[in-house]
Amino acid sequence: MPSAKRAASPLLVARPSPYHASVTLFSNASSLITVDADASPRRSKRVKVDVKVEDEDSLPETRPAKKARTKLAPRASTSTVKLEEAEGVKSSRAKVKRETSASASPRKQKAIPQSLDTPHPAPPNWRDTYDTIKRMRSKIVAPVDTMGCDQAQNKETEPQNRRFATLVSLMLSSQTKDEVTDAAVAKLREALGGSITVGAVLAADESAISEAIAKVGFWRRKTGYIKQTAQHLQDDFDSDVPKTVDELCSLPGVGPKMAFLALQVAWNINVGIGVDVHVHRITNRLGWHKPPTKTPEQTRLNLQSWLPTELHPDINHMLVGFGQVVCLPVGPRCGECELSDGRCPSASKTVVKTSTRKVTSRRMAGPKVEIEVEDVKTEEVKITAPSDEPLSPLSDASGA
């Protein structure tokens, strides 16, 4: 029986199929086969094959060749077989991604907003409330008066060190009472050799700083923040505290409240209100925000839109001391506050209720004895101003 196998054209080169031993593959002898020179000797099982034949219609074609071309390659102009190593591709892609991230420019610091698009209206009778609190504060000595962030500069002689000590004190005060912050600042000054300076912080071991501030909240994180901030100040600001809010907020561990207070205390620059938890809580209890604000930043923007600029530096110190002694976060002393006469929509009044009951005592012999016992009960009653809705007290997680 004559063989059905056709003679191969001299223009084709035969080679055994790598997929089946009984199949012969044919390719154009004039075409070039290129292999990626960078490919590793260890080949992946994944193969990308691009077979392109010029003048395809002019060449005789056998069934095995047609079957192989149809199965393995699309039509094009050149023959190319490209072998890729799977692991090599993944690693190269990861390398490119890392290089792209490294070469990308650092993200620009977002500017701190200074005003609202629509100013918040001034609350009615706010001036009377403000003056009343100011009068009450003049009779109160609060922790912030003797141990606040402005006190840290008093032990320094050089103006540059006074500004840096103020900034460090503000960084330590977050989520920490003034009494603890003041003690930590004194201990840190001692650990640094008697003066809080940028150079002394950079020269000190982190363990020495951590031991000095170990009583403040989040002391481990703040240790790193203080070291990093000192390095930034040395590299970018000539070892001094910057004079803008955005530059201050670019420092590790420094937020808007610290930035505004640092400018007021260190540079005597008034560009906004430093709002902490006390200012946030008290102004909401007074009903100064409609609707009530949820964050100190919202409170700051509301207050700055209507409170006169000349009062911005004083309101923080005034309300912090008031919140530390009278308008406490839990159990506010409304009985000692003059605003509980109806001007504060969140005021509560202690009402004492008494009742009497008779207790009879009988003995085997002798007269009957009756004793009256007086029961005293106290309860807090909310006193609400007629035109305002009462606000629930806000929780306070920090002291200063």
DSSP letters spanning 172-228? HHTTS-HHHHHHHHHHHHHHTTSS--HHHHHHS-HHHHHHHTTTSTTHHHHHHHHHH
For 271-290, the DSSP string reads SS----HHHHHHHHHTT-SS
3-state DSSP assignment of residue 152: helix
| Residue 382 among the catalytic residues | no
Judge whether residue 346 has pLDDT over 60: yes
Domains of the chain: 12-88 (no CATH), 126-325 (1.10.340.30), 337-382 (no CATH)
Q: Tell me which of 287 and 62 has the higher pLDDT.
A: 287
The pLDDT assigned to 20 comes to: 72
344 phi, psi to nearest 5 deg = -100, 120
Judge whether residue 144 has pLDDT over 50: yes
pTM: 0.64
Q: For 66-125, how does the pLDDT look when each residue is reduced to its tens digit (9 = 90+)?
A: 444 444 444 444 444 344 444 454 455 544 444 444 444 445 667 899 999 999 999 999
Q: What is the CA radius of gyration of the chain?
A: 40
Q: For 214-240, how does the pLDDT look when each residue is reduced to its tens digit (9 = 90+)?
A: 999 999 999 999 999 999 999 999 999
Q: Which of 257, 294, 368, 377 is catalytic?
A: 257
Judge whether residue 168 has pLDDT over 50: yes
Q: Say how far apart CA 210 and CA 317 lie, in whole Å.
A: 28
Check: CB of residue 174 under 8 Å from CB of residue 217. yes
The residue whose two tokens read 């103006």 is 159
Query: Which whole-number Å values give the CA distances from 119 to 44, 84, 116, in the listed order?
Result: 65, 62, 5
